[in-house]
């Protein structure tokens, strides 16, 4: 097991990464200390992993909520169902919410933990690659509004993250590829060496090679933990983690949160952001080519069919990252070199989007 610390003073917490962690009852019992525990999972993950977690906590009071699977269910209604269960069970302020699943479960369960009695303990047990490398770390919790992704939420750090790499063996190939989008993002914004390593090892990752997966998860978590420790509430450098996401969130909204997995939308969004960086003379043509090639080798989409460019631009204007000074985007000055900058003019953005839109 590898442990990485997210250094936030008294609220610091570990990210545990390793094999067979969910089979280790003693480890789970020591990591989840509350006497009252609400397990939140979904209808796909619960049949696979709810029992070993429940067994490890057998001497506590354990309740569970099983939510529907998919981004379209990351709603206030799902959030309310979790709150209802906490209240019906008469859980105290020293209870713990445990999120067992992918990014949707982690986000909505985390938001419930942030709100119940003004904040209770949260443990993240991510079971998808995307959640293990990104959404379970950093304390962002939220639900979607029909017109804007993650518009309702709170910062609420977990007390620990438990990433059992064995859970990735049950991931469908599409979900695995979606997680790789976030790993690629880390290479693009922070670590050109990681990007080059991915170019050489993408096949091993898609084949679920345990050593390759462990390295990709560890390095991604190291990068995110360092950025979060420096800028917990996204007042500065943490905004780099949004590379491609402003485009992606608009696409997800237009697709009714059904058409693409989050990582797939991020892949298209990163290609659009790379297009804008190229058009502004910030990114070289060869680096631009390598980005598109790696996304394709990872099995990720880079183009969107039947999407209106103006509709994407309109939704980007109401993205939660837009402020009084206007929309800001993460742009690339090369592989591993990113900067948050004012969005370019509408024509540049429209061209960057249109290049990835299929009629």
Tokens of 202: 């993408």
Tokens of 303: 């183009």
Name the residues annotated as catalytic.
118, 140, 182, 224, 234, 238, 242, 245, 249, 262
Q: For the chain, what is the HEC assignment?
A: CEEEEECCHHHCEEEEEECCCCCCHHHHHHHCCCCEEEEEEECCCHHHHHHHHHHHCCCCEEEEEEECCCHHHCCHHHHHHHHHHHHHCCCCCCCEEEEEECHHHHHHHHHHHHHHHHCCEEEEEECCHHHHHHHCCCCEEEEEECCEEEEEEEECCCCEEEEEHHHHHHCCHHHHHHHHHHHHHHHHHCCHHHHHHHHHHHHHHHCCCHHHHHHHHHHHHHHHHHHHHHCCCCCCHHHHHHCCHHHHHHHHHHCCCCCCCHHHHHHHHHHHHHHHHHHCCCCCHHHHHHHHHHHHHCCCCCCEECCCHHHHHHHHHCCCCCECCECEEEEEEECCEEEEEECCCHHHHHHHHHCCEEC
Of the candidates 109, 261, 94, which has an alpha carbon nearest to the alpha carbon of residue 178?
261
């Amino acid at each position: 097991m590898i442990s990485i610390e997210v250094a936030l003073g008294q609220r610091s917490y570990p990210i545990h990464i390793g094999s067979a962690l969910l089979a280790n009852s003693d480890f789970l019992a020591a990591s989840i200390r509350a006497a009252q525990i609400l397990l939140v999972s979904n209808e796909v993950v619960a049949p696979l992993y709810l029992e070993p977690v429940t067994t490890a906590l057998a001497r506590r009071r354990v309740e569970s909520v099983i939510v529907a699977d998919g981004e379209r269910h990351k709603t206030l209604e799902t959030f309310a169902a979790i709150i209802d269960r906490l209240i019906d069970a008469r859980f105290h302020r020293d209870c713990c919410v445990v999120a067992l699943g992918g990014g949707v479960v982690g986000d909505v369960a985390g938001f419930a933990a942030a709100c119940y009695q003004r904040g209770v303990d949260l443990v993240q047990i991510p079971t998808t690659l995307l959640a293990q490398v990104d959404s379970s770390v950093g304390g962002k919790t939220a639900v979607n509004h029909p017109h804007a992704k993650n518009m309702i939420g709170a910062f609420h750090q977990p007390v620990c993250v438990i990433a059992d790499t064995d859970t990735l063996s049950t991931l469908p190939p599409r979900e695995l590829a979606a997680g790789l989008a976030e790993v690629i993002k880390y290479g693009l914004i922070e670590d050109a060496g990681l990007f080059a390593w991915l170019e050489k090892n993408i096949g091993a990752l898609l084949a679920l090679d345990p050593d390759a997966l462990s390295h990709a998860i560890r390095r991604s978590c190291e990068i995110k933990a360092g950025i979060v420790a420096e800028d917990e509430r996204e007042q500065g450098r943490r905004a780099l983690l949004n590379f491609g996401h402003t485009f992606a969130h608009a696409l997800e909204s237009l697709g009714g949160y059904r058409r693409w997995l989050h990582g797939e939308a991020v892949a298209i969004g990163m290609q659009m952001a790379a297009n804008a960086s190229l058009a502004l003379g910030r990114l070289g043509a060869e680096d631009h080519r390598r980005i598109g090639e790696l996304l394709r080798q990872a099995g990720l989409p880079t183009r969107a069919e039947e999407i209106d460019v103006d509709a994407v631009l309109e939704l980007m204007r109401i993205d939660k990252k837009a402020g009084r000074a206007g929309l800001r985007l993460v742009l690339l000055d090369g592989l591993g070199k990113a900067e948050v900058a004012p969005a370019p003019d509408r024509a540049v953005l429209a061209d960057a989007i249109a290049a990835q839109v299929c009629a």
